[in-house]
Structure 1
Amino acid sequence: MKSIRHSYLTIGAACILFLFCLTAQGQNNEQARHDSIRFSLLTCGSGEEIYSLFGHTAIRYENPTRGIDYVFNYGIFSFNTPNFILRFTLGETDYKLGVAPFDYFTEEYKYLQRDVRQQVLNLNQTEKEKLAAQLEENYRPENRVYRYNFFYDNCATRPRDQIERATGGSIVYPQDMNSTDTGKTYRDLLHQYTENHLWSRFGMDLCMGIPADKPISRRQMMFVPFYLEECFDQASIQTPQGNRPLVCQSVNLVSFPSSEASHQDWYPSPLAASLTLFIIIALITYYGWRHQKRLWGVDLALFATAGLAGCILAFLALFSQHPAVSPNLMLFVFHPFHILLLPYVIRQARKGRKDWYLLANLIVLTLFILLLPVLPQKINLAVLPLALCLIVRSANSIIFSYKKNK
């Protein structure tokens, strides 16, 4: 969810050996050394880039008696990776665990004007040693790269899993974490954190299919760093001597005034843009009727654009490993046939023949809109004017052909 500069890895590689060598040395004052060790969960605020809207999570390791203060970050990726865009589309993006000095980490977030909050973990000596060993093992060159999955395996779920392992699975949350009675879906959570980024939300809604609207459990909701932070605040560690809070202290390390409420895009929203397009198409169609002109060039531009969008959606549905992209009912509106059959549509229009494809398209789109309330997939409202544009132009061509052949 957050890309740290690629030099982050170089710094981490140099300091990690020093970090764990110091941990393995110094038999004198062993108890004092362990008492000074502290692990914390860091939660970072939202950014402006689409990949940073949902915040970020990292683990902080401190040993003041040794002068050690590092951040373990599972959210490192590079746009310079070969074929990055294609791999991201296919769901084959690899992320890395990186290590950097704490000051380096916080300075970057200060520069980006993003909050950083710290939850100090209430771990005993054995749990601290286990977590340190797990992080060391994860940072080995053969282990630090992992296949990123936005919903199931990301920069928030990895730290959670490591902390749960270090406590022997004894973390207790106040609610049933596996029940799907939350009333929340993946799409709901994405909408929650893209409230002021409507075009990002529109793009996500187009790409996500039916699986994004199935109820999810509280544990599944932890892919969002902010929800993980909330759950940790309420969690405890179960021991034979009784439960102790998982978090013993919460601190705001970096704070900035919230900018989300004042965030306003200067350009129109997707709904406003699609409504404007529908009005333009309706006026053009009316002009064509008044002057008895088919205006098939309008159909060429409209259906070609819809077809290109359909090719992207079909590619995601058929080949991408991303969760929640297939099946996608948006393919009833935007599909590859719009562009694949475009030569046939143009030929029929120019010769004034009946177009069976446009008739089928008209029926499918009409049924799509009528059945919208009962569809198992939530449809962004901005899609409706776009579907109406295709309906109007399909109906226009069908009526013109009927009148010409009558």
Structure 2
Amino acid sequence: MKKKLVFLCWVVLISCLFSPVRVRGEISDNVEKMPQTDSIQFSLLTCAPGNEIYALFGHTAIRYQNFSRGVDLVFNYGMFSFNTPHFVYRFVKGETDYQLGITPYPYFESEYAFRGSSVYQQILNLTYSEKMSLLKLLQDNYLPENRIYRYNYFYDNCTTRARDQIEKSIQGQVVYPSVSWHKTFRGIVHEFTKGSPWDELGIDLCLGAEADKPIDIRQQMFAPFYMRYFAQDAYIQTPDGGRRPLVLREEKIVDAELEAESSWGISPMVTATLFLLLNVIIGFFQWKKQTIFWGWDILLYAAQGIAGCIIAFLFFVSSHPTVGSNWLLVLFNPLPLFYLPFMIYRELKHKKDLYHTCNLVYLTLFIVLFPFLPQDFNLTVLPLALGLLVNAASHVLVLNKK
């Protein structure tokens, strides 16, 4: 299975590298020599989610077909490479660069059929001049100096880029249907992470309060399937007062079934509850034996501090949207990691340390205010905070009794 996947990836990569040279010439020829009979068709492609975290929300692309010339290409704004220098650091910092790629449709279809993701095609109801305009926009976007862009998951991604190019090519205004529901970025993310609780927890730990604010229809279109939904009932309002539907018809062009990958046998909530239980047991024995288990403390405070460093980096440095308003910084911050050497030193010297008393008060306030903070926290955070609280309480009891 893995060998087939690697082979397919190489095929797709080679096609992306070598087909654009030929493709650009075909596009130029089409613009200059297009016959009066319209044989061009543009479609909005929406791909079903995959198993990888970057594919959990689906994908959007634009399909270009010229039936008289036998051209069938996919313009894909979601191309990126894990081999980019410092990819992980740049991703965390919010400086990930994506680019527009052009792939022959058969390769695109094979890739999504192989991974088990269905593809839906919405044929766009464009005039001849609008199709020429869209073709020219895509050609300009594919120029070496234009094809790379700074990716922003909520505001500038493969879906919003495709939508914007289509709207720019239209002589008139695209009017999308109104809806009665109220959505947030986090709420939409949760719709696509229901079957991936660990991925959902990781995303929730990074997103801040801004992700819980209501967003309008246009902002909801960051998600491919929301874009597909709104496009289906959208219409084009022309300058002369005419109206026509944006989408002529929709069809399923890749009918595939995603193979469910084996997930961790234990959920985040169960893991966090076991963490709380472990702290209760350790705290009890610490109180019973009147001694502190420093091995556990080193592991606990180091883990809490490292998690805090990541959230603090996202909060203060990263340019990712919504991460700069994360109230979890109150619970997970670098302070425990930085203070750990002083904590051990003071214990070895038998000096009084008020850190655990302050930590106990601090954690108690966080848990009491948990339901009232302006952020929708993942419920897994609660047993984690309670575990830290139990640990702090056991320290205070042991040190006071001593």
* TM-score grouping bracket, smaller chain normalisation: over 0.9
Q: Is 1:16 aligned to residue 23 of structure 2?
A: yes
* CA displacement 1:234-277 (0-9 Å, x = unmatched): 10111226211110011101112365xx6662421111001011
The letter for the 2-side match of 1:230 is Y
User: How far is the alpha carbon of 1:75 from its aligned partner?
Assistant: 0.3
- For 2:216, the equivalent position in structure 1 comes to 217
Once residues 363 and 7 of structure 1 are traced to their aligned partners in structure 2, the CA distance between those partners, rounded to angstroms, is: 59
- For 1:309, the equivalent position in structure 2 comes to 307
SS at match of 2:252: strand
- Change in CA separation of 1:396 and 1:287 when aligned onto 2, cut-off 3 Å: same
- Change in CA separation of 1:364 and 1:169 when aligned onto 2, cut-off 3 Å: farther
Q: Judge which range, 222-231 or 394-403, deviates more.
A: 394-403
SS at match of 1:70: strand
Once residues 18 and 253 of structure 2 are traced to their aligned partners in structure 1, the CA distance between those partners, rounded to angstroms, is: 22
So what's the TM-score if we normalise by structure 2? Answer: 0.93
Q: Is 1:107 aligned to residue 110 of structure 2?
A: yes
The letter for the 1-side match of 2:236 is I
Q: Is 1:336 aligned to residue 334 of structure 2?
A: yes
SS at match of 1:188: helix
Once residues 112 and 39 of structure 2 are traced to their aligned partners in structure 1, the CA distance between those partners, rounded to angstroms, is: 26
Once residues 182 and 237 of structure 2 are traced to their aligned partners in structure 1, the CA distance between those partners, rounded to angstroms, is: 28
Q: Is 1:68 aligned to residue 66 of structure 2?
A: no
Once residues 58 and 401 of structure 2 are traced to their aligned partners in structure 1, the CA distance between those partners, rounded to angstroms, is: 58
* CA displacement 1:340-398 (0-9 Å, x = unmatched): 00012223334444322222221121111111111101111111111111111111112
Asked if structure 1 preserves the Cα contact closer than 8 Å seen for 2:99 and 2:147, the reply is yes
- For 1:247, the equivalent position in structure 2 comes to 247
Aligned residue runs from structure 1 range 85-100, under 5 A: 85-100=88-103
- For 2:153, the equivalent position in structure 1 comes to 150
SS at match of 1:275: helix
Q: Which of 126, 131, 137 is residue 129 of structure 2 equivalent to? A: 126
Asked if structure 1 preserves the Cα contact closer than 8 Å seen for 2:64 and 2:72, the reply is yes
Q: Judge which range, 343-352 or 48-57, deviates more.
A: 343-352
- Change in CA separation of 1:228 and 1:343 when aligned onto 2, cut-off 3 Å: same
* Greater than 6 Å deviation, 4+ residue runs: none
SS at match of 1:80: coil
The letter for the 2-side match of 1:20 is I
- For 2:368, the equivalent position in structure 1 comes to 370
- Change in CA separation of 1:321 and 1:102 when aligned onto 2, cut-off 3 Å: same
Q: Is 1:31 aligned to residue 30 of structure 2?
A: no
Asked if structure 1 preserves the Cα contact closer than 8 Å seen for 2:124 and 2:247, the reply is yes
Asked if structure 1 preserves the Cα contact closer than 8 Å seen for 2:116 and 2:258, the reply is no
Asked if structure 1 preserves the Cα contact closer than 8 Å seen for 2:304 and 2:337, the reply is yes
- For 1:383, the equivalent position in structure 2 comes to 381
Q: Is 1:393 aligned to residue 400 of structure 2?
A: no
Q: Is 1:53 aligned to residue 37 of structure 2?
A: no
Once residues 304 and 314 of structure 1 are traced to their aligned partners in structure 2, the CA distance between those partners, rounded to angstroms, is: 15
Asked if structure 1 preserves the Cα contact closer than 8 Å seen for 2:90 and 2:96, the reply is yes
SS at match of 1:149: coil
- For 2:5, the equivalent position in structure 1 comes to none
Once residues 92 and 264 of structure 2 are traced to their aligned partners in structure 1, the CA distance between those partners, rounded to angstroms, is: 28
- For 2:270, the equivalent position in structure 1 comes to 272
- For 2:3, the equivalent position in structure 1 comes to none
So what's the TM-score if we normalise by structure 1? Answer: 0.92
| Identity of matched residues, % | 46
Once residues 264 and 187 of structure 1 are traced to their aligned partners in structure 2, the CA distance between those partners, rounded to angstroms, is: 25
User: How far is the alpha carbon of 1:139 from its aligned partner?
Assistant: 0.6
Once residues 76 and 174 of structure 1 are traced to their aligned partners in structure 2, the CA distance between those partners, rounded to angstroms, is: 30
Q: Which of 119, 132, 140 is residue 137 of structure 1 equivalent to? A: 140
Asked if structure 2 preserves the Cα contact closer than 8 Å seen for 1:355 and 1:398, the reply is no
Structure 2: which 5+ runs fail to align?
1-8
* CA displacement 1:117-170 (0-9 Å, x = unmatched): 100000011111110110011011110000100000000000100011111451
- For 2:80, the equivalent position in structure 1 comes to 77
- Change in CA separation of 1:150 and 1:12 when aligned onto 2, cut-off 3 Å: farther
Once residues 389 and 269 of structure 2 are traced to their aligned partners in structure 1, the CA distance between those partners, rounded to angstroms, is: 18
Once residues 238 and 36 of structure 1 are traced to their aligned partners in structure 2, the CA distance between those partners, rounded to angstroms, is: 24
Aligned residue runs from structure 1 range 252-263, under 5 A: 252-257=252-257
CA RMSD of aligned residues (A): 1.8
Once residues 294 and 137 of structure 1 are traced to their aligned partners in structure 2, the CA distance between those partners, rounded to angstroms, is: 66
User: How far is the alpha carbon of 1:9 from its aligned partner?
Assistant: 3.2
Asked if structure 1 preserves the Cα contact closer than 8 Å seen for 2:79 and 2:101, the reply is yes
Asked if structure 2 preserves the Cα contact closer than 8 Å seen for 1:196 and 1:264, the reply is no
Once residues 355 and 218 of structure 1 are traced to their aligned partners in structure 2, the CA distance between those partners, rounded to angstroms, is: 53
Q: Is 1:41 aligned to residue 41 of structure 2?
A: no
- Change in CA separation of 1:235 and 1:151 when aligned onto 2, cut-off 3 Å: same
Once residues 9 and 308 of structure 1 are traced to their aligned partners in structure 2, the CA distance between those partners, rounded to angstroms, is: 39
Asked if structure 2 preserves the Cα contact closer than 8 Å seen for 1:39 and 1:62, the reply is yes
